[in-house]
A and B are shown apart, each in its own frame.
Chain A
């Protein structure tokens, strides 16, 4: 095997290996990789920063959404309350109006009744007077004597109560 002819192959290969590997390490890798490492780090930071930002934005939007939901709920409650108020107010006003109308009607009815009562009483008086006159004239014709007013009124009174 030529590989084990160390007396002849070892030194030249080792020498050139040292030279070339030194160039590779100091002249190529050390000059290039750190640049790349910086960029990779930057990218990592940017990506993690972006993720953080996105997470924050999501949190914000979640909060906004929550606020919106609660706002909606409050508004709905308010609307419902307003509606109920309006309903009850309307009902109350209707009741009041109908009560008023009822009262007016009652008053009118009562007034009418009083009137009727008055009319009846006067009519009754007139009838009494007519009846007394009639009775006294009948009695006068039958007996020839006109009865006294007191007697006539007593008699009519006993009839009309």
Chain B
């Protein structure tokens, strides 16, 4: 029986060493590149000839762009529009990685099931939030942690908690996505191996595999949903964090 963790194995495709650093092009990088190519085709075709009455491709891209812009309008306000390209990039990149990983094929790989990738994206969000916050408000940005009109010792206590929760944001953001993706793929793989092992039962071939196969199909639907929802949650949280930096509260 195959190890359900095997699917997360990183395999070198083109080993690259830069000094003492390992910068190899791996299967993870390949699937991120595929995600990039998919998104690039989607966007370039969709915006090749922008028209007032959109074509189908253009309408699809517009739908997603409008979705992100609305999210920023709702959570950040008018100043959030500047960050639409960034949030859009995060959203569509995570979405593409999640969805390409759902291809039911041995070679497919989900980069977002790796904490290295999700942490990289989360740290990017965190860094941008900090930069924007200090850029706009200077040291006043620290007032984000200070609760207004509160009993002083209590305020100090709350400020400590707020600060810790602020620092933990990149990790929670990264772990949420990584854990969701990993758990889903492990589950799929476990039920997939059930299909094989029960289907090979020689006295009653195939029949016993029906149940786990049904479960696998249902789980695939659920995982597609999770893939979309997690991409949305990632972008949504990124915009909520941006709101803190821009509007302080």
Show the binding face of A for B, using Cβ within 8 Å: 1-6, 8-18, 20-21, 23-25, 27-30, 32-40, 42-43, 46
28 intermolecular pairs with C-beta atoms under 8 Å apart:
A1-B182, A2-B9, A3-B115, A6-B116, A8-B10, A11-B21, A11-B23, A12-B22, A12-B24, A12-B25, A12-B28, A13-B26, A13-B28, A13-B120, A16-B28, A20-B33, A20-B35, A20-B36, A25-B85, A28-B40, A32-B43, A32-B61, A33-B47, A33-B65, A33-B84, A34-B85, A36-B50, A36-B61
A23 to B5, alpha carbons, bound, how many Å?
30
What residues of B have a CB within 8 angstroms of the CB of A40 in the complex?
62, 65-66
- Any A CB within 8 A of the CB of B239: no
Residue in B58, B86, B111, B116 with the greatest tally of chain A CB atoms within 10 Å: B116
Please determine whether B114 and A25 come into contact, CB atoms closer than 8 angstroms. no
Known: A9-B10, A16-B28, A17-B121. A29 touches B89 (CB 8 A): yes
Please determine whether B29 and A29 come into contact, CB atoms closer than 8 angstroms. no
- Any A CB within 8 A of the CB of B44: yes
Please determine whether B29 and A28 come into contact, CB atoms closer than 8 angstroms. no
Known contacts A3-B178, A12-B25, A33-B85; 4 further A-B pairs (Cβ under 8 A): A24-B89, A35-B47, A36-B58, A40-B66
Tell me the interface secondary structure of chain B in the complex.
helix
What residues of A have a CB within 8 angstroms of the CB of B178 in the complex?
3
- Any A CB within 8 A of the CB of B202: no
What residues of B have a CB within 8 angstroms of the CB of A20 in the complex?
29, 32-33, 35-36
Please determine whether B36 and A12 come into contact, CB atoms closer than 8 angstroms. no
Digit string of B103-146 for contact with A (CB within 8 Å is 1, else 0)? 00000000101111100110010000000000000000000000
Known: A12-B10, A35-B47. A21 touches B124 (CB 8 A): yes
Tell me the interface secondary structure of chain A in the complex.
helix
- Residues of B in contact, count (CB < 8 Å): 50
Please determine whether A13 and B114 come into contact, CB atoms closer than 8 angstroms. yes
A14 to B92, alpha carbons, bound, how many Å?
18
What residues of B have a CB within 8 angstroms of the CB of A11 in the complex?
21-23
A38 to B54, alpha carbons, bound, how many Å?
13
Show the binding face of B for A, using Cβ within 8 Å: 5, 8-10, 16, 21-26, 28-29, 32-33, 35-36, 39-40, 43-44, 46-47, 50-52, 54, 58, 61-62, 65-66, 84-86, 88-89, 92-93, 111, 113-117, 120-121, 124, 178, 182
Partner of B89, one of A5, A25, A37: A25
Known: A3-B116, A9-B116, A40-B66. A28 touches B52 (CB 8 A): no
Please determine whether B22 and A2 come into contact, CB atoms closer than 8 angstroms. no
Partner of B47, one of A1, A6, A23, A36: A36
Partner of B39, one of A4, A12, A17, A28: A28
Please determine whether A17 and B120 come into contact, CB atoms closer than 8 angstroms. yes
What residues of A have a CB within 8 angstroms of the CB of B39 in the complex?
24, 28
What residues of B have a CB within 8 angstroms of the CB of A21 in the complex?
89, 93, 120-121, 124
A17 to B89, alpha carbons, bound, how many Å?
13
Partner of B114, one of A3, A30, A33, A37: A3
A112 to B121, alpha carbons, bound, how many Å?
132
